[in-house]
Each structure stands twice: as structure tokens, then as C-alpha cells.
Structure 1
Amino acid sequence: MKRLLALLLLTFLSLPLAAAPPSAEINLDIGTPPVILVKHTLAQRGSRLVYFLDPGVIGLGYDGMIKVRDDSRLNLPQLQVVGKLIDQENPDRNSLIYAIAEGHGGQQFEPAVRAAQIKRWKAQFHSGWWIEDEQGNWSQKP
């Protein structure tokens, strides 16, 4: 019986730290292969997004996703391009968050990673680009 308890204790102590609650230290620059791959994909799309970010057609939603803000000046082909870009961008943004969380030890880190990544995206946004607040109101970054 003592041997069984010792074995159980040893097994418990050797569990990965991923089971521990998420810490406040989130490394958004973690270099796991999935993170690198998604960051590369996002970077390749960046210049096409800028084309619609500069005039304020799209912006950064409160949830960290790219959203249409004002499509009133777009024709149908441009609307289709914007829709396709958003349909590609937002799943990749979520994939980045999930990949970083996995790199930290598991999906229990996802809320902390998401909050940190949204903060980074807001900081990286250029002056004049649009950001949505919690109430759904849009304002230009100073």
C-alpha cells in the first residue's frame, strides 16, 4: 500500500505544469512552429489590409478581430475583396492566439493570451486607424 501511495504521489508530482493556472507572464513572441507559421501568414496579408485600414473601411474590433467599419464608398468588387480578407484574417488571428496558448502549455492560457494579443494589436495600430470600444463605438487612434 505504501508503495502504491508513493507511486501515486510521484506520478502526481511529475504532472506537467500545463495543468497549473495561467500566469500573468504571457510571451507573445514564443517561437513554436505553429506560431511562426501563423505569424507569417498574417504578415503576408498585412499590406492588403492596410489598403482598407488607411481610409477607415475596416478597423480593429473590440474582440481583436478585423471588422468592416464603413463600406459606403466601396463598389461590389471591393466589398468582395474586403469580405474575403476578413474571412481569411480573423480565423488566422484566432489560430495565432490558440497556438500561443498551446505554446504556454494549453488552452487554459487562451484568455490571458487573447487579452495580451488584443493589447498588442491596439498598440501596433497606426494613428488614424479605427478601433472599436466595448460599446461598439468606433474612434480613430490618436
Structure 2
Amino acid sequence: MYRIVLAPWWLLLTLLAGCVTINVYFPAAAAEQAADRIIRDVYGVPQREEAPAQEQPAPAPDSRLESDRPLWVALLEAAVTPAAAAADINVQSPAINRLRAQMKARHQQLEPFYQQGAVGIAANGELRIRDMNAVALRDRARVQQLVAEENRDRQALYAEIARVNGHPEWQDEIRATFARRWVDNAPSGWWYQDAGGSWKQK
């Protein structure tokens, strides 16, 4: 005679939770605040006091369905939801700190070219030489080198932030976030490209 042995409910719940794939979404609000902190540091402007990034609240459960929901479903949701909601973004690592220091030091050399309109911010967040005629002949090779080095460091920064957070797939979203914030944090008078590629002055 065969005997059926039922596993404890907690064991079944543990096994089921292990099979659940938790989607950690890109923390857009936190990434924007992190980008602002880095960019203001590079630009040498005072940091603003910021409230913690607020994620959209989850919709309230339907009370009519609450009483019909099995206990194991409620317990599983309690185990999964905090992990999914804990998405944040980390911008601290030796490589990130080194890149920030390099960009901050380089900004002091780039700032006159921003102000002259020789260098502007492209739609993708990189720097572009907008008007070489505004640059003295003796400085043209130097400004080209500064722009190339800055663009290299910006790309390295985005890749490193994605790597440190364990989500290399976030790199494009990090780049897009920074592209917007470089322009939004730029002083009046600087030039930038709009989405269509046209140059505009803040």
C-alpha cells in the first residue's frame, strides 16, 4: 500500500518563491537624482537638498478579492514585493570617484569654451565642437582633445554605474538620463542640441 507524504506548506512556499522571477525595473527617479549630484559636482555648483525619490504607489487591493485570496498567495506576495520595490541606484565605486574627479578637473578647462559657444552638449549627452571659429588657433588642438577625453569618461561613467549596480542592461537608460540632466543643469548661455539635432542656447 502506497502512502502519500505531503510536504509542509512552508516548504512548498519556499520552493514556489524560488521559481518566481523578480523584475527589477530601472529606478528612473533615483537615477535622475544621482545624475544631478554627479553633474553639479562636475559643474562646481552647490548641491540642492533633495527629498528621497518616490516611486509610484502600488494600486490598492480590491477588498472583494482580499477575502477570497488563499493564504499562500498573500505570503508569497509579501516575500516578493519588498524585493521588487527595493530598486535603487548606487553611484559609489573607486572607478566612479576617479572619473568624477577627472571630469571635474577637466570642466575648468572646458568652461571658457562652453561660454564662447565653441562647445555644446549634443542630444545624446556627449560634447560637440559647435563653432571652431570661436576658438583661437593655438587652442584648437587642445579643445578637440578635451572634448574627446570628456566623451570617453562620460561613456565609461555610465558603463561603470550600470556595472556597480549589477545591471549592465541599464547602461542605455543611464546614458539617456544623464543626457537630459547635463542640459537641465547647464547654466544659461550654454548651447545644446534638441532632439532634432538643432543647436539652441539656454
TM-score range normalised by the length of the shorter chain: 0.7 to 0.9
Alignment check: 8 A CA contact 2:132 2:140 kept: yes
The farther-off stretch of 57-66 and 113-122 is: 113-122
Taking CA–CA contacts closer than 8 Å with sequence separation of 6 or more, which of the two structures ends up with the larger relative contact order? 1
In the alignment, residue 62 of structure 1 is paired with which amino acid? A
Residue 58 of structure 1 aligns with an amino acid whose one-letter code is V
Q: Which residue of 2 aligns with 1:83?
A: 144
Structure 1 residues 127 and 121, CA gap change in structure 2 (3 angstroms): same
SS in 2 for 1:54: helix
**Contact (CA 8 Å) 2:119, 2:128: kept in 1 or not?**
yes
Correspondence for 1:58:
119
> Aligned partners of 2:179, 2:30: CA distance in 1, in Å?
13
C-alpha displacement at 1:34, in angstroms?
Answer: 1.6
Whole-angstrom CA distance in 2 between matches of 1:112 and 1:53 = 26
**Among candidates 99, 105, 109, match of residue 170 of structure 2:** 109
How far apart, CA to CA, are the structure 2 residues paired with 1:138 and 1:25? Answer: 27
Deviations 1:58-89 (CA, angstroms, capped at 9, x unpaired)? 00000100101111133432211111101111
SS at match of 2:120: strand
State the distance in 1 between where 2:139 and 2:28 align: 41
- SS of match in other structure, 2:143: helix
Alignment correspondent of 1:3: none
Root-mean-square deviation (Å): 2.5
The residue aligned with 1:98 is 159
In structure 2, how many angstroms separate the alpha carbons of the residues matched to 1:22 and 1:39?
22
Asked if 2 retains the 8 angstrom alpha-carbon contact of 1:128 and 1:140, the reply is: yes
Greater alpha carbon shift after TM alignment, 26-35 vs 39-48: 26-35
CA contact (8 A) 1:56 1:129 kept: yes
Structure 2: 5+ residue stretches without partners: 1-11, 38-90
Does the 8 Å CA contact 2:124/2:179 hold for their aligned counterparts? yes
Partner of 1:69: 130
In the TM superposition, what is the alpha-carbon distance from 1:21 to its structure 2 partner? 4.8
Amino acid at match of 1:97: Y
Task: Report how far residue 136 of structure 1 moved.
Answer: 1.5
| Shift, 1:38, TM fit | 0.7
Spell out structure 1 runs of 4+ moving beyond 6 A: none
Paired position in structure 2 for 1:24:
28
The 8 Å contact of residues 26 and 116 in structure 1, kept in 2 or not, is answered as: no
SS of alignment partner, residue 138 of structure 2: helix
Larger Rg: 2
Q: Which sections of structure 1, spanning at least 5 residues, go unmatched?
A: 1-5
Distance 1:118 1:70 in 2: 21
TM-score of the aligned structures, taking structure 1 as reference length:
0.80
